[in-house]
Every structure is written in structure tokens, then in C-alpha cells.
Amino acid sequence: MALQQLFTPGKINQLELKNRVVFPAMGTKMCEPGGYVSQRLIDYHVARVKGGCGLNIIEVSYIHPTARMDNALAIYSDKFVPGMQKLASAIREAGGKSCLQLWHCGKMAAVPEPVSSSPIPFMGTPVAPRELTIPEIQEIVQAYADAAGRAQTAGFDAVEFHAGHGYLPQQFLSPYMNKRTDEYGGAWENRCRFGLECIRAIRAKVGPDFPILMRISVLEDVPGGLTVEDMMSFCQLAEQAGIDAIDVSRGLPEGAAIKFEVPPVDLPIGFNVENASRVKSVVNIPVIVAGRINDPEYADGIIQEGKVDFVVMGRAQLADAEMCNKAERGDLDQIVKCIGCDQGCFDAYVNPYIPFISCMRNPSTGREVEYSLKATEAPKKVLIAGGGPAGLEAATTLKRRGHNPILCEKSATLGGQFYLAGAAPRKKEMAEAAVQMGRIARQEGVDIRLNTEVTPELIDSIQPDEVILAVGSTPIVPPIPGVDGDNVILAQEVLWGHTGPKGNLIVIGGGLVGLETAELLAEQRQQVTIVEMLPEVGSDLGWLRKIPVFEHLYGSGVQMLTSSKCVQINAGGVIVEKDGQQQEIPADCVILAVGSKSLDSENLSAHCKAGGIPFHVIGDALKARKAIDAIWEAAELAREV
């Protein structure tokens, strides 16, 4: 056993758990319309149980009709019990333990008239919720208890009272959101009243031995919001009221504070551990910590140090459902780690056009049955042009299915743009992920040939059964007068070199690459100005990644000119046009970051077509996009060959 502490048994009330790893409640959009359990959701959880997880907490389940949210589970009526029973039974039969999270989102609900502690709009929206009356409060308290009873009847091993992330219990507890003047507002003991009444009602319903967990935001991260000291005090009161374990998260979905709920790569590993440790110092029940923990060795260490008792590893198990088994065996280098990109999980959750969450690094998340690998009955020799993320994903998947992939990469390095992305500030984990993809492909036995460009002649010599063109993209050089000057370079040159020119610098293009290049240069104490044609910069960044990127850009003094077009580059700077007016901005160097275009593979496509060789164009070679698009296309194709 490689990690002794992480894989020792733990106990919450009378519930015995085989290890200290918790799969947390994360919104999936996998439920059936109306809030019912789906087979997809069952398969998703069972995969993590079989992967070795100690406790699976099922995502938010709303306990009252006033809490309805689209794409969320429901437990406010007995009609939801059969589906919940099927889910709990599947987890138990797979060898796991389950916990249902009880939830009322208050003013965030998707109902005609949301309710809350006070009529304060959500995130500055113009529509204020209606303030709950005292009889309505008592009705909701009872609804929590009844929902807990249903969860117990359905066969779950525990329930979790969600009192964090800005939801209704926190809307009562927080001075930022509660402006009441009755017995549920004002003084601390009054603001605690609703949450404690819910806990006591749940305990009375389920009895003394049934575990009740509580998730909290240990810090609201907004002016005038709850502090760590406040939450330490509330956790002591909650323990007295009947809570058996504290699940410590952070933040709320307002302003920049939301970055702590689903922390992107920009936040350090374990950023919330010390907060959880402070909570542990004042309670006598187990403490669970959440907050971007993707490394089993790190998780093991904080348990050894006595900082916490259990560790939430959520997106870590989206990226690799077998993470626990691999870690317990000691196969740490085989774990596909979450890199905090948020693209397949949070970004997909808030995108109405994406049906359910998944993971950039693990396209089978949410597709556990349909994406299970099936061995081929007719092995093929498949030539893959390009060793970026699309080529590597395709090669590894094909090899695992029994095909014979040959991957040729023109350069001396695998990983392509995915590896380059790791050169940006705070994104080292992406470069490490690209390196790991190459290492795993080699370990699987893929024939990898570096410094080898795929040409028509090479295709003829190899005589493949099929060809996959994943040759990637190249930076766009816009037709600006002076763009060929000695003072003009590509953003990719700066990122590859990890250092850049000095002085007054102009970055043309305010997309992801331009912003990260500007930030890297600003860290080197250069004066940087971004020129962007669109009305805003960072339009291609996900919501959560955008927050820390902008914080760093503004903090380092980077200037941003939007709705501005660079019309000329000269030796002394650039001429920028905005609203029909031109101005000259001095610059010692101009860095181009206006996007990428697919590399031309028409000659290879034509050669394959002429020779009757089936071929496929994927990733940036098809259209320059994000790494998630390249990896997912490759995963799908490799399952069809």
C-alpha cells in the first residue's frame, strides 16, 4: 500500500468507510427532466465506486418546490424515492457508500418567485427574491427533515445538509445576505437559527445513528461576508445540534468569490486546507476538506499532519475514475490528473448547449457505458500525423483497442499546443499533462516517431489501413503594414522561450494567448498594452479562468484597448484606430496573438483519397479550437475505427 493514511478506514457516526477519499456533490445535468435519477447518473457514480472511492456524495437534491432548479435532482416528494433507491442500491452493490446532499438554493431557484432570507437580488440582478415569512420558514425546515427521511428510506448511508455556496442556509447566516429584523435576522444567534433548526429537524427524523454531514463555505470572500471565525463558531453550534462531519468548501457564486467553488488551475493546490484545519481545531467530529486537491500524495500528507480527516477529490475522479485504485496500488504516474481547466465540468455545466458535464482529460466521464473500450476484431495499421493532444489521444485509445497505431510528429517534442499552453503563468500542470499523454502512449506500446513529417511518400512506404490527420494549427500573421518588421514577433515565441522583449510592448490580440503572453511579460516588469478589435478581451476564456487572469492583468498594470484595430506597425510603435480616430502608441516590440489557423493537410488528404485510403481530419487540423475539442474528437474517432 503506497499511501497509508489516505487508504485507512474512517468513520462518520456509525458509518464505516474503507478510505478517506470523498467524491463530492457536483452538478452534472445528468438527471431526467423533473429531477429524477437517470441511468447515466447511476453509471457515472458506479464507475467512481469501482474506482475505489470511499464515499460518494450525490449532487444537490432540492427539498422543496420553491428550490427548483433546471437540471437538478429532486427529493421533495415520495415520487422521487424509487429512482433514488435504484441509485443507492447500485452504489452499494458496487461496494460503495452513498450520501445524498439536501439543498435549497433560495434566491437562485428557477421559479417565478424565488424566496430568500431577505429581498436582496442575486449577483446584482434587478429581480429581488421574496422574503420568506416565518410560517414558510417553518415549512422549509420540515421539508429538510422529510427529505432526509426519504433519503434514509431510499437506502443512502448518509445525508449532507448544504449550508454553503450562497444557498438558503447561508442566505440566512450571512450578514451580507440577511437583513431581517425578526428572530431570524440581525444578531448572530438569530442568523444561526434557521440552519440549526434544519439540523435539529433532520436529526429528529433520521435518528441518532444516521450520519448527517454539513457542507459550508468557510469564507464568503465578499466584503461584509462571513469570516473563518464566524464559521468556526457556527460549526461548533452545528455539532451540538447533531452534525457528524463538516465538509469545508469556500466562496459563493457572486463576483470573484465563485472562483473558490470550482477553482481553476490558477489557484494553488490545497488552497483551503488551512481553513479546514482551523475548523478541525474547534470541533470533535471529522472534518473533510475541498479545494483543488488532485494529488493523492498531497492528500495523504495533510491527513498525516492531522489537518483534516477526509479529503474531497472530485474533479480528480472526473479526470480518472480509477484514481483511488491506482493510488492505492502505487501506480501514481498512471493517474490522469485534473488540471483545473474547468472546460469539461463547470464550463459545460453553465453552457445550455452541452447536455451534461464531462472532462477534457477523460471524455468517457458521463459516457461510462457507451465509451467503454471494446477490443477490435479486425486490427488495423493506423498512421497518425501529429503528436499533439488529438494525435496522442487517438493513438493511445487505438492501441488499447488492439489496433496498431504509428504516430509521426514533425518536431522533436510531443504535446503540441497543449504543451505550449503550460508555458503560461500558473499553467505548468497543462504542460505536465501533455508530457504524461506522450509517456502513457509509449507505455501502451504506440510506435512513436519524432522528427518525422508525414508526407505522401511516407504514407506509401507505411501502407496504412487508415490515416488520421492531426497536424494541428499555426499562428495567424495578419496583413498589417509593417508586420514583417524586425520589431514584430509571435506570442508563441515568447511562451516557448519563457522570456521576451523589454520596454514598451504591444500585444495585438486579446484572446487567451494574448492575455497570457501579456501577463508573462508583465511579470517580467515590462510595460504591456493589449490591442483588441472586439469590445472585450478574453472572450474565449471560461467564466472561472477569466477571474484570476483579469485579477493578475489589472494587478500588474497591463493596459487594455478594446474595440481597437492595429492598422500599421512601424519602427517606433503602432497606429491604432478606434471609433474612426487614430493614435500612435510607442512600442519597442509588437507581439502577435491574433489566433491560429489549421495547418494545410490538403496534399495528404488528396493523396489518401487518390489511393483509396480512409482518412480523418481531427483537432486543430480540422479547425483551430481548444484542447478539449481535439481530445474529444480523437476519443470518439478512435472508438469507431
Catalytic residues: 167
Instruction: Give bridge partners of residue 2 from the DSSP assignment.
Output: none
d(C-alpha 325, C-alpha 417), whole Å: 31
Residues with Cβ within 8 Å of residue 70, at least 6 apart in sequence = 110
Angle between helical axes of 273-280 and 228-241 (0-180°, round to 10): 50
Distance (Å, rounded) from C-alpha 166 to C-alpha 382?
A: 51
Asked if residues 323 and 359 have their Cβ atoms less than 8 Å apart, the reply is no
Alpha helices in 226-381 (DSSP H): 228-241, 273-280, 296-304, 315-319, 323-329, 346-350
Taking the C-alpha atoms of residue 376 and residue 360, their distance in angstroms, rounded to an integer, is 25
State the sign of the Cα–Cα–Cα–Cα dihedral 359, 361, 362, 363: positive
Task: Say if CB 516 and CB 601 are below 8 A apart.
Answer: no
Closest CA to 464 of 480, 447, 477: 447
Residues 172-175: contacts with CB under 8 Å, at least 24 apart: 172/117, 173/226, 173/230, 173/234, 174/220, 174/225, 174/226, 175/224, 175/225, 175/226
Q: Which amino acid is at 323?
A: M
List, in order, residues 6 or more apart from 174 with CB less than 8 Å away. Answer: 191, 220, 225, 226
Which H or E run contains 171? helix 168-173
